[in-house]
Structure 1
Amino acid sequence: MKIISLILLFTFCVLTGFSQEWTLEQCINYAIEHNLDAQTMKNRIKESKIKLCNSRNNRLPNLNAGLEPSIYFGRGPGRTGSYQDNTQLNTSFNVVAILPIFSGFSIKHDIQGREFELQASLQDLEEVRENISMNVLALYMQVIMCKELLQVAKDQVQLSQTLVNQKKWLVDAGRILESELFDSQAVLSNDKFNQIQSENELNQSLLNLSQALNLEKISEFDITHPILLDTGLPMPNKNVENADSIYKLAINRRPAINAEKNRLKSMEENLAIAKAKRYPNINLSGGYANSYFYSFIKGYNNSLFWEQLKNNGNEFLSVNISIPIFNRLVTRNQIRSANISIENQKIVIEQTQQDLRKQIDQACNSFYSSWRKYEAAQQSLHAANEAFKNQQDRMTLSKTTIYDYIDAKNRLRTAKSNLLQAKFEYIFSVKILEFYKWGHLACD
């Protein structure tokens, strides 16, 4: 039994201490689920649904009941309506229902306007999700780049360590001065410092990503490498990746534009509601009323309660027609105000479309410039690698100085760093264009 308990305890410790590696898709889904802005937008959607429900319910009749008990001391109205000097109790109650028959179609337009507002809220939520996804993508790729830069720093430390070992052997053999060993050890110390700095940058990037996800426990947080980063990068195709074609695809898919278009439709319905106030309102009313009377005068013959209810009850049915004639020009000004709101909303839509076009132009320009930068970085790395190999061979034969070797090694490290930065910049620009083209962020 103790052995089984120890095994279970060990398994629990291993599982709880296991550092889970998060994929990009997991990070995005978690960030969307726990983001406060997204939760706020969900509550706004709930409010829009409630408002829509209220608008639909305006078609239903309005039913109310009333009860009015009164006690008169001294002179008060009697059962016949004449005033008498007595103390009496008079109670009346009624049930009234009012059904809207015609209101200039304002109820219909109000329902449609609420539906458009709900659609706008749904599009706002989608926009928030997309912004979260793009932010997580940028932070996710920053972590991966820091990881690869850390590997470059580790490689530099390994090279410097190998050089120090060679110098120690040569010093022990009496073939070089000890000062050259000191120089190589100084290079190793500097490379170790750069490695620590790269580790700190990696930890900071992981912290930034975990905070974007609103993680509670971040000590064991880590991510995986997407497959795309370890394979060949796609070459740009100007016949496919151009701003005009991407804009035509994106303009009908972007939630920001669709949200503003739905708000425009809602404002057009508000204009119809304002115009509906020019028409008459017709309501159908019906109800039931009854009363009870009791006099406290000594010797007064009060009828029984149920007998009075039987005799005093009455039903009614009426039609109420309200015709607008003059309301101090309020309706006219409301129509004018609604038209101005529509014009302003059209400007907002146009501005949103212009912003989208500018964003796509910037994304396409970044796409092609980052590819040229990536190609140049590849050539630079190839040249720096060849130069370093030459200096490494010459250093082995003691035919070059430590300073020339350090310079070649630093140029190789810079070339590797530049290639990594250009590589990630190009991958990010590819993701951005795919996002604008297809309306969603690819997580592969």
Structure 2
Amino acid sequence: MIIIQWAIFPANIFRALMAWRKFADRKENEKTMKRTFISTLLLIAAISVQAAEPWSVERCMKYAADHSHSVRQRQFDLDENRTAKTRAIGAFLPEVYGSVSAQMNFGRAVDPETNAYTDVSTFYNGYGLQASLTIFDGLQRYNELRMARANVAMGRSAVQAEKDATALQVCKACMDLLYCQGAVEHTMQKREESLQLLRQTEVMAEVGQKSEADVAQMRATLAADDYELTHMQSQTTKALLTLKQLMNFPIEDTLIVERPSVETLSILSEADGGVTPAALARNPRIAQAESQVAAARYGLWAARGGFLPKISLSGGVSTSFFRNMDTGGHAPFSQQFKNNAGEYVAFTLSIPIFNRLATLTTVRSRRIALDRACETLDYERSELRRLVAEATADVRNSEKEMLKTNEQVEADSIAAHITTRKFEEGMASAIDVRTAAVTLLQSRVKLLQSQLTMMYNRRLLAYYRQASI
């Protein structure tokens, strides 16, 4: 599968055109100009073909894990969890705020200087700086910080789990693409054999050894091969587009997947054994569930802290300035700003008595969330054991199927060869030849499918048992 991308090398094409014009201006021989121009284009084509190097399955999986849209969505969730962690850390810091106020009094009011009632218009201006710090809140902030840290760990595990899931999907898509490409190759080989047999039958019909019915049957076989080839080429195009979509690979760029050998992906020498404790610890889905349990437990403890009293410390400074708008005679601003300044420090003890069952319902909700998280963790562990057992059985069955299918291909190859020789000698019909050829094609395609399925099952089992792509 070679695709020449001329747009990659516009400079080389420009130089080729300039060479063409230069030769034309010098009135060189027309054959020499054409030969030089074609040589330049062939050089560009060779460089372009070298640029489109095949991609291994591992490279496709890694590219998808780094560029997938679903992985980016999980990364955004992780960033949000990190923001929540920063907010939880900030809850331990004191809260500081300033205030500025301005007030104009008309009519009866309190004189800020004498604290007596007056009926003149006055202007009042106040300034304040306050700070407050929560000393004890039933360990709510501490547990919320631990919950935020657990959510960050859960986000990391979710990102890794999404990467692994995407990589496995891409691996399956690569196997589907390789299957379609292999089916196209086998179909093209069968079409060439049908074409040669058609020509041979036409020659034999001219000398009277075959009938026109045999020739028509061979033409029908060739037409069926053309249809099957077109159909498999269409399936190959769809499989390639599906793979590019999963990888988030540019649709217009060339992607050639290299078919691995069976030995390359033979990760396990034997397909037995269960889930090891190390695999349970490294599996990202189980790690995500464990972090979810921890976050739910810390959230429950934080909610229970709402039943305890709260102690806070606050303090501040304030000053003011006033002016009599009717008579004047007020002190300067700097003098009032200094003389009216005051400081205060306060301790506050808040004991919750009744808040319309808000704390109680929050505790119940957090307890339900903890129970749900524990159930999810148990499910993920049991599901991993089930997947390992299922993948182990799939590996064993796929290996047996590959061996049996290989034997079937060898037998069908011999049968097809013998049937073709019988047809040449007049001992078999064209229908027998077509049946044997179709059976051989199906066996070859089935063998290819069993090989790719075995590769995928081995990789899947290795991931479940080792938690590593």
Query: What is the TM-score when the length of structure 2 is the normalising length?
Result: 0.85
CA deviations on 1:81-122 (whole Å, 9 max, x unpaired) are 111010001111110111222222222111111000111111
**Equivalent position of 1:285 in the other structure:** 314
Q: Which amino acid aligns with 1:351?
A: Y
* 8 Å contact kept, 2:127–2:319: yes
**Equivalent position of 2:419 in the other structure:** 391
Counting aligned pairs with the same residue, the percent is 20
After superposition, the Cα gap between the structure-2 partners of 1:352 and 1:8, relative to the gap in structure 1 and judged at 3 Å, is farther
**Equivalent position of 1:224 in the other structure:** 257
**Equivalent position of 1:214 in the other structure:** 248
* Alpha-carbon shift at residue 327 of structure 1 (Å): 4.3
User: What is the root-mean-square deviation of aligned Cα atoms in Å?
Assistant: 2.7
Count of residues paired in the alignment: 434
Counterparts of 1:48-63 in structure 2, within 5 Å, are 48-63=81-96
Secondary structure, counterpart of 1:223 in structure 2:
coil
Write the distance in 2 (CA, Å) between the matches of 1:235 and 1:359: 18
Give unpaired runs (5+ residues) of structure 2: 1-10, 19-40
**Equivalent position of 2:403 in the other structure:** 375
**Equivalent position of 1:410 in the other structure:** 438
Tell me which of 435, 438, 441 is aligned to 2:466: 438
After superposition, the Cα gap between the structure-2 partners of 1:118 and 1:80, relative to the gap in structure 1 and judged at 3 Å, is same
Secondary structure, counterpart of 2:123 in structure 1:
strand
Write the distance in 1 (CA, Å) between the matches of 2:267 and 2:101: 84
* Alpha-carbon shift at residue 376 of structure 1 (Å): 1.7
1:124 lines up with 2:158 in the alignment: yes
**Equivalent position of 2:30 in the other structure:** none
Write the distance in 2 (CA, Å) between the matches of 1:309 and 1:8: 84
After superposition, the Cα gap between the structure-2 partners of 1:8 and 1:278, relative to the gap in structure 1 and judged at 3 Å, is farther
Q: Which amino acid aligns with 2:124?
A: N
After superposition, the Cα gap between the structure-2 partners of 1:197 and 1:361, relative to the gap in structure 1 and judged at 3 Å, is same
* Alpha-carbon shift at residue 329 of structure 1 (Å): 5.1
Secondary structure, counterpart of 1:22 in structure 2:
coil
1:29 lines up with 2:62 in the alignment: yes
Write the distance in 2 (CA, Å) between the matches of 1:34 and 1:335: 41
**Equivalent position of 1:91 in the other structure:** 125
* 8 Å contact kept, 2:274–2:388: no
* Alpha-carbon shift at residue 226 of structure 1 (Å): 3.5
Secondary structure, counterpart of 1:252 in structure 2:
helix
* Alpha-carbon shift at residue 235 of structure 1 (Å): 10
1:151 lines up with 2:185 in the alignment: yes
* Alpha-carbon shift at residue 16 of structure 1 (Å): 6.8
Tell me which of 134, 140, 149 is aligned to 2:174: 140
* Alpha-carbon shift at residue 7 of structure 1 (Å): 4.6
CA deviations on 1:261-303 (whole Å, 9 max, x unpaired) are 11111111112212223333222222111010100222x4211
Tell me which of 51, 67, 79 is aligned to 2:100: 67
CA deviations on 1:128-160 (whole Å, 9 max, x unpaired) are 212211211111111101111111111111211
* Alpha-carbon shift at residue 73 of structure 1 (Å): 0.8
* 8 Å contact kept, 1:56–1:111: yes
1:259 lines up with 2:295 in the alignment: no
Write the distance in 2 (CA, Å) between the matches of 1:235 and 1:341: 40
* 8 Å contact kept, 1:20–1:221: no
**Equivalent position of 1:312 in the other structure:** 340
Secondary structure, counterpart of 2:138 in structure 1:
coil
After superposition, the Cα gap between the structure-2 partners of 1:381 and 1:280, relative to the gap in structure 1 and judged at 3 Å, is same
* 8 Å contact kept, 1:254–1:439: yes
Counterparts of 1:235-254 in structure 2, within 5 Å, are 240-242=270-272, 245-246=274-275, 248-254=277-283
* Alpha-carbon shift at residue 374 of structure 1 (Å): 1.5
* 8 Å contact kept, 1:247–1:357: no
Write the distance in 2 (CA, Å) between the matches of 1:236 and 1:120: 30
CA deviations on 1:10-57 (whole Å, 9 max, x unpaired) are 677876786553332333333334433222221111111111111101
Write the distance in 2 (CA, Å) between the matches of 1:198 and 1:117: 47
Write the distance in 2 (CA, Å) between the matches of 1:265 and 1:346: 9
**Equivalent position of 1:109 in the other structure:** 143
Write the distance in 1 (CA, Å) between the matches of 2:73 and 2:421: 63
After superposition, the Cα gap between the structure-2 partners of 1:410 and 1:355, relative to the gap in structure 1 and judged at 3 Å, is same
* 8 Å contact kept, 2:388–2:465: no
* 8 Å contact kept, 2:54–2:258: no
Write the distance in 2 (CA, Å) between the matches of 1:87 and 1:235: 91
After superposition, the Cα gap between the structure-2 partners of 1:297 and 1:211, relative to the gap in structure 1 and judged at 3 Å, is same
After superposition, the Cα gap between the structure-2 partners of 1:84 and 1:136, relative to the gap in structure 1 and judged at 3 Å, is same
1:421 lines up with 2:449 in the alignment: yes
Secondary structure, counterpart of 1:181 in structure 2:
helix
Write the distance in 1 (CA, Å) between the matches of 2:133 and 2:374: 37
* 8 Å contact kept, 2:314–2:346: yes
Q: Which amino acid aligns with 2:81?
A: S
Give unpaired runs (5+ residues) of structure 1: none
Write the distance in 2 (CA, Å) between the matches of 1:139 and 1:281: 58
Query: What is the TM-score when the length of structure 1 is the normalising length?
Result: 0.89
* Alpha-carbon shift at residue 334 of structure 1 (Å): 3.3
**Equivalent position of 1:6 in the other structure:** 15
Write the distance in 2 (CA, Å) between the matches of 1:273 and 1:92: 39
* Alpha-carbon shift at residue 224 of structure 1 (Å): 2.5
* Alpha-carbon shift at residue 307 of structure 1 (Å): 1.0
Write the distance in 1 (CA, Å) between the matches of 2:251 and 2:357: 63
